[in-house]
Chain A
């Protein structure tokens, strides 16, 4: 089998990967719960902030001469100190891959595979991801092209199905901003900024692989905007169907909302469509985080990333199990510690420090 060393992805594939990456687990795990009835406003506002964060990442890449995150770190901190930062990012990406994998495992165990051990789901899912990565990131991009129509049609169908089942009650969304803007702001910062929008930091590893990099900025921004709109759409469905109280107490609100669909006493249990949508979203998300970490390992150890794929996949599968004792603990970690201690420093603070260093180094080389 021929394996390309220099992988390239097209603009359309970048668009799809960002779109699926952003909506992947965010659709099923209820986000912006702090904003209660105004969760959709919080997501809409966070989308614009997310676009700004993405544009900043692009700005950073352009100023460094289309280098990826790890090369930028090397440019800023030198050959040896940069390795420390690269290892931190590798651990971060692998940790996030484990978290996303655990989300998916919990979803499957609590919905369709009730008697299957979560360890089995975790291992089999990682086998699929190993296969994707051994064939290369282009394979994942092409699979995204195949699956995207199903994902969009299924999501639209779920909304339409709930509407036709007369389960939507838009009065659940009222009053708009009844508690003021404060809960919305609390939901945006740092939770929504970190998840799902700030997680785009992993694309700083992928963007230099895009064929027409000059147009990539616009395409990526449009993709983030559309994925934000889709998240608003699903949040409105969840709020209008379940109300903010049940939505916040439900582990998987989109799934609970989809269970309300009952058309002609015939079309029922369409929550499996949601599981399908999430399944591909999770595969894309874990693969991209995993790929980001692997490229970091390639940079640190100077060995082709494919040699790391199998051992690291088994390591991610292991850590997805030991990451927490149960789902409640997993969610608590995700809402309380991860945004402050991991997302904020690695998605925002460190990248903000990087730009002045690039600027200083460029000016210094111009002076010489």
Chain B
């Protein structure tokens, strides 16, 4: 569930930022994608992108732990 929450919030938050950029700042979709979401050469944006990846991995591990704990309870171990 933590992974689902992570993906859901990521999608909605990025959509909101994209919505403002495209409809109110009048950026083209290409411009939004290349300037905001892509890893531009020479910037440190990859730090936050790797943070995002770590966040996703952390969510998957948390879910896995919860699943094992739940399984342990139902199997009586």
Contact = CB atoms under 8 A, between A and B. Distances in A.
Contact of B35 (A98, A119, A325): A325
Interface in B18-43: 20, 24-25, 35-37, 43
Nearest to B37: A322
B12 A315 contact: no
Contacts of A323: 17
Given A91-B16, A322-B37, A120 B44 contact: yes
A120 B47 CA distance: 8
A70 to B, nearest CB: 15
Nearest to A316: B13
A123 to B, nearest CB: 6
Nearest to A309: B58
A310 B36 contact: no
Interface residues of A, number: 36
A312 B6 contact: yes
Interface residues of B, number: 34
B28 to A, nearest CB: 13
Contacts of B59: 311
Nearest to A91: B12
Nearest to A116: B44
Interface string A84-108: 0001001100110010000000000
Nearest to B8: A87
B17 A322 contact: yes
A58 B23 CA distance: 36
Interface in A296-318: 297, 300-301, 303, 307-308, 310-315, 317-318
Contacts of A300: 5
A55 interface: no
A262 interface: no
Nearest to A90: B9
B37 to A, nearest CB: 7
22 contacts: A91-B13, A94-B13, A117-B43, A123-B47, A301-B4, A301-B5, A307-B66, A308-B2, A310-B58, A311-B2, A312-B6, A314-B54, A315-B55, A318-B51, A318-B52, A319-B13, A319-B17, A321-B45, A321-B48, A322-B14, A322-B48, A325-B35
Interface of B: 1-2, 4-6, 8-10, 12-14, 16-17, 20, 24-25, 35-37, 43-45, 47-49, 51-52, 54-56, 58-59, 62, 66
Interface of A: 87, 90-91, 94-95, 98, 117-120, 122-123, 297, 300-301, 303, 307-308, 310-315, 317-319, 321-323, 325, 329, 332-333, 336-337
